[in-house]
């Protein structure tokens, strides 16, 4: 008899920010709640780890059983990592079904809340907001200016019970979602994209070696260089431009003193100005300082230092199916990216927060990009047995295709293939 799948979810706390990477976060993490259930209809249980009681026997047996399949949302990137670091339990990928990966393997959004909205599953918006507030309360350190730095089951007993119910609701939503998600790109055990995900997990868990001492030395050297360069800039401009990193001040000074109005201060622009043998020596020195100052960014080194585990390896840097259309692997969520916003302000952003209006540092200069953005849920229409968005392309012959909306307007029959059967387009791509 085939075993029922184990559905599970963790609620955790760590003093390490999650934006530094899951593996770094996990080294300082503790499991507070372990929610689980067996099969589609089994009782949803909670092991409250904070009570100090041992793991329930049924859960311990399931995790130890090499033939027990498990289901969790984003377990490859988070829950299994936490399990390994905190309890020493190493779940191999072939025993995990990750509903997050299953969703993105089929072009769906990865967020559990978004998927539940898509399929009309789970709680209403007010309850979801309550759940997010409970996560902020119990899973993160409280602000430094508060007397109570951490909320617990003892300090907030009423909210703790609500927290447990919130966790159970996630298990319920996950079980319902499992029924809706397509599986052709992500079978339960092996084959197709599943084999690639197993390899992805192996690569991400192995990580890459980071020379932390070198990275730290680079940061110190860059900091010293910035001070020297800022002093040279301040001296060359008689105190009008304290540092060449102050772009607007620098451009104004160049125009006022030398009558040159560059469009920007990108590396390529500055280099082109320096190619002119007739520019004044003072301006040449200033532009050279600008180039050197632009090359002293330490953001990537700092990200490496923060995200490296105690064994000197940085893990979890690749996101499976990160590119929505091509399914190529990309930088993982929360990877730090150097950007310059439309106001010219430079900063570090998590990769998922980078806007289309932001310019990205490519190692040489600030460049525009054509990022993939979630455009929201859209209404669907039905025509000739196909349900999809109106702009979705459909074939009307072996070589011709038009949008579904146009096909419906014209009353055109859709091409059904050689076997005379329609390949139904998935209705999950849109708002129902």
Q: Give residue 370's pLDDT.
A: 66
Mind listing the pLDDT tens digit for each residue in 16-72? 988 888 999 999 899 999 999 999 999 999 999 999 999 999 999 999 999 999 999
Residue 89 burial (C-beta neighbours within 10 Å; 0-12, 13-18, 19+): middle
Alpha carbons 301 and 351: distance in angstroms, whole number: 16
- Provide the pLDDT for residue 350: 75
Q: What residues form DSSP beta bridges with 48?
A: 33
pLDDT, tens only, 283-314? 999 999 888 887 666 777 888 899 999 999 99
Q: Alpha helices of 30-73 — where are they, by DSSP H?
A: 57-64
d(CA 261, CA 310): 50
pLDDT above 60 (res 422) = no
Cα-Cα-Cα-Cα torsion 109, 113, 118, 123, nearest 10 degrees, comes to 170
Domains and CATH numbers, the chain: 6-206 (3.30.420.10), 212-294 (no CATH), 381-429 (no CATH)
Q: Residue 342 pLDDT > 90, yes or no? A: no
Looking at residue 23, its pLDDT comes to 93
Question: What is the C-alpha separation between 181 and 97, in angstroms, rounded?
Answer: 12
Closest to 316 (Cα-Cα) out of 179, 161, 177, 208: 208
Cα–Cα dist 284/278, whole Å: 10
Asked whether the beta carbons of 112 and 177 are under 8 A apart, the reply is: yes
């Amino acid at each position: 008899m085939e075993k029922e799948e184990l559905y599970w979810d963790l609620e955790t706390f760590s003093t390490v920010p999650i934006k530094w990477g899951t593996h770094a976060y996990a080294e300082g993490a503790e499991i507070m709640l372990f929610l689980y259930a067996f099969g589609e209809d089994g009782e949803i249980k909670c092991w409250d780890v904070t009570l100090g009681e041992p793991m329930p026997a049924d859960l311990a047996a399931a995790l130890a059983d090499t033939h027990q399949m498990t289901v969790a949302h984003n377990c490859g990137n988070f829950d299994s990592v936490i399990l390994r670091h905190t309890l020493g339990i190493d779940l191999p990928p072939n025993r995990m079904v990750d509903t997050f990966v299953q969703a993105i393997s089929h072009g769906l959004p990865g967020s559990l809340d978004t998927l539940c909205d898509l399929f009309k599953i789970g709680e209403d918006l007010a309850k979801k907001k309550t759940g997010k507030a409970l996560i902020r309360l119990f899973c993160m350190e409280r602000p430094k200016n508060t007397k109570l730095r951490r909320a617990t089951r003892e300090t907030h007993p009423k909210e703790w019970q609500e927290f447990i119910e919130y966790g159970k609701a996630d298990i319920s939503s996950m079980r319902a979602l499992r029924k809706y998600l397509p599986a052709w790109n992500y079978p339960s055990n092996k084959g197709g994209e599943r084999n690639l995900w197993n390899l992805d997990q192996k690569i991400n868990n192995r990580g890459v070696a980071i020379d932390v001492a070198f990275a730290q030395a680079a940061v110190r050297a860059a900091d010293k260089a910035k001070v020297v360069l800022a002093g040279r800039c301040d001296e060359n401009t008689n105190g009008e431009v304290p540092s060449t990193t102050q772009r607007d001040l620098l451009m104004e000074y160049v125009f006022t003193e030398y009558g040159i109005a560059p469009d920007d201060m990108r590396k390529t622009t500055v280099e082109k100005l320096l190619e002119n043998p007739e520019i004044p020596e003072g301006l040449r020195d200033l532009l050279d300082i600008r180039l050197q100052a632009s090359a002293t960014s330490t953001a990537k080194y700092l990200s490496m230092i923060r995200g490296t585990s105690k064994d000197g390896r940085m893990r979890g840097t690749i996101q499976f199916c990160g590119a929505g259309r091509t399914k190529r692997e990309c930088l993982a969520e929360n990877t730090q990216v150097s950007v310059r916003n439309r106001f010219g302000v430079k900063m570090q952003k998590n990769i998922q927060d980078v806007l289309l209006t932001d310019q990205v540092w490519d190692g040489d200069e600030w460049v525009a990009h054509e990022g993939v953005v979630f455009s929201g849920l859209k209404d669907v229409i039905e025509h000739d047995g196909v349900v999809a968005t109106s702009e979705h392309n459909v074939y009307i012959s072996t070589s011709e295709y038009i949008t579904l909306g146009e096909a419906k307007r014209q009353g055109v029959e859709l091409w059904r293939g050689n076997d005379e059967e329609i390949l139904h387009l998935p209705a999950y791509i849109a708002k129902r």
